[in-house]
Copies of this chain bind each other. A is one copy, B any other.
């Protein structure tokens, strides 16, 4: 194995978020509450999950945060941008995700966090408006302003390192064009205001130029363009995306591998989603919904591979619907109907109703990504972080690789990466050594 040197996590880590609505406020309020011992950061692998090390019989299952050197919750500082100028306290109250009683207990700290002026373009988010926005003659000017924001934030908050996690809205669907094909084209586009450069790309560009790792929480076309992959490589900055895996897609990447495991065939998978928050409102615009639809749509194909097993997965009717339904508020419900077939083609059905909460599922992902992206940076892992596929609806990979969607393979990849970084043996679950007289070093 290669010798990996992981730098320690000293000093403060600043977490910058473009988009400071329900997800961002739930994340920040939760970290603050956890620091005070008021609540637990459940759902965060970095804080609450354990990892098995060594043989089963050794019973070594440290918490991940005790196994790899991660920034401590007490060392985190928060900032970001939003089209509304509300403080994080007001934004948290408006979001309606957390109980008022909890918010009040971290009010003082939340009130101090005010969004910087955002880069915004209504053509990219049809159903939103906002006034807390930057102006500039060119997109280059906007990018420069973002870079300045980043610098100022770092100094003002005495941060040793920064990471940026997109917590903003889904932009409209558009496909990669010439302007995205190389860093050179992209930078020319910034100067001549190319309309195909989306706001999210400007944030990512500003981050990478500043050596700040960037993670893309929405399904936006952003990091996954050659221009920004090139920039990440040049600046040796970790990037990862895209689209936080929460709710229905999370469930899908849990259940589909189970069906495949048992070689059960699938004839159809109908998924409907009802949700009532701002995310639902944004997705009510068809152009924005399409971005999400494409992101969600590939998940099944990756797990139930028709090329490898056409008899079982060659004819799946997969339909995904998202419906804006205000009575649910920040709650979200998925209803899945899965038509499967088994022995001799006999048909069966699975119906799953997931009564979940959008921001509650997303917040710990923001935390984990921030800490793991920072770990990657300190471990000198640069560019695309495929080992973080676990968190994405549409994981970014090298062009020659296909993304892994199976959440259990994603988890194994993540855990074995951590073991690899720390010089521990990888786990294969073979376990033949318990039963046979074999080389115990290799098989675990």
A268 to B331, CA, bound (A): 14
Encode contact with B along A29-47: 1 for CB under 8 Å, 0 otherwise: 0100110000111111101
Q: Are B416 and A344 in contact (CB under 8 A)?
A: no
Assess the B254–A258 pair: CB atoms within 8 A. Answer: yes
Alpha-carbon distance A160/B402, docked complex (angstroms): 45
Using an 8 Å CB-CB cutoff, how does the interface string of A349-374 with B read, 1 for contact, 0 for none?
A: 11111111100110110000000000
List 10 contacting pairs A-B, 8 Å CB cutoff, sorted by A.
A1-B442, A57-B400, A57-B401, A254-B254, A254-B258, A261-B408, A352-B353, A381-B435, A426-B428, A426-B430
Q: Is the CB of B426 within 8 A of A443?
A: yes
Residues of B within 8 A of A39 (CB): 344-345
Q: Please indicate the chain B residues that have their CB under 8 angstroms from the CB of A267 in the complex.
A: 327
Q: Which B residues are CB-close (under 8 A) to A261? A: 254, 390, 407-408, 411
Would you call B337 and A333 a contact (CB within 8 A)? yes
The 6 closest A-B pairs by CB, nearest first: A254-B258, A268-B327, A408-B408, A39-B344, A43-B342, A426-B428
User: Which of A7-52 touch B at CB < 8 Å?
Assistant: 26, 30, 33-34, 39-45, 47-50
Binds B, one of A141-149, A164-172, A317-325: A317-325
A42 contacts B274, CB within 8 Å?
A: no
A53 → chain B closest CB, angstroms: 12
Contact A325 B321 (CB under 8 A): no
- Asked if A243 is an interface residue, CB under 8 A from chain B, the answer is no
Q: Is the CB of A408 within 8 A of B311?
A: no
Q: Which of A33, A258, A364: most chain B CB closer than 10 A? A: A258
Distance to closest chain B CB from A227 (angstroms): 20
Contact A327 B339 (CB under 8 A): yes
A56 at interface (Cβ–Cβ under 8 A)?
yes
Please tell me if A108 contacts chain B, counting CB pairs below 8 Å: no
Specify which chain B residues have a CB less than 8 angstroms from the CB of A257 in the assembled complex.
254, 408
Residue A175 interfacial (CB < 8 Å) = no
Establish whether residues A325 and B333, one from each chain, have CB atoms under 8 Å apart when the complex forms: no
- A66-78: CB near B (< 8 Å → 1, else 0) gives 0000000000000
In the complex, per-residue mask of A428-444: 1 if CB is within 8 Å of any chain B CB, else 0? 11111011111100110
Please give, as numbers and ranges, the residues of chain B lying within 8 Å of A79 by CB-CB distance.
none
A281 interface residue (CB < 8 Å to B): no
Asked whether any CB of chain B lies closer than 8 Å to the CB of A272, the reply is yes
Closest Cβ–Cβ distance, residue A122 to chain B (whole Å): 26
A429-B416 in contact given A57-B400, A352-B351 (Cβ < 8 Å): yes
As a 0/1 sequence over residues 397 to 420 of chain A, the CB contacts with chain B under 8 angstroms (1 = contact) are 010111010011101110011001
In contact, B438 and A413 (Cβ under 8 angstroms): no
Residue A173 CB within 8 A of the other chain: no
